[in-house]
Structure 1
Amino acid sequence: MYLLGIGIVLLLMKYLEIGPVAIWPWWVVLSPFALAAAWWTWADMTGYTKRKAVERENERRQARIDRSRADLGMGPKKRK
């Protein structure tokens, strides 16, 4: 996501001819978009995206369980 933001900022600077970016070649200005596409492709192909989503779901599930136990006065379950 950072690469996409950087790409948008560079694109605006190039289009509005602001600072040293105005004289940079277009391929340099557009390269963050290509890098972002490469990152997303790699993340999807290797399962990184799915793994992070599962980790977030497990953390939310465990927080919900701990909150329910605390509301019942049982306290959080101790992990071994």
Structure 2
Amino acid sequence: MLSAAEETAAEYDRGIDTDSAFGDPQRLIPDYARENAVDHIVMGVHGRAEEDRSLVGRVAETVFFRFPVSVTTIR
């Protein structure tokens, strides 16, 4: 899946970096972004609309507040 994303970006003369890791995404994503000078984060969300949860979810919300770059969420 990551290779396909890189190939699609290349077709539009764009580059992306992909990586995968195991652990707590609320910590891993902002830490990785800081260490690698990431300027934009794109992440998928479930979009649950439960009363006790935000629309973007716990992980996406944490990333919004822990790292000061643009974050795009995709349902």
- Scaled to the shorter chain, the TM-score interval is under 0.3
Higher strand proportion:
2
CA radius of gyration, larger in: 1
After TM superposition, the score normalised by the length of structure 2 is: 0.21
After TM superposition, the score normalised by the length of structure 1 is: 0.20
* Structure of higher RCO (CA pairs closer than 8 Å, 6+ residues apart): 2
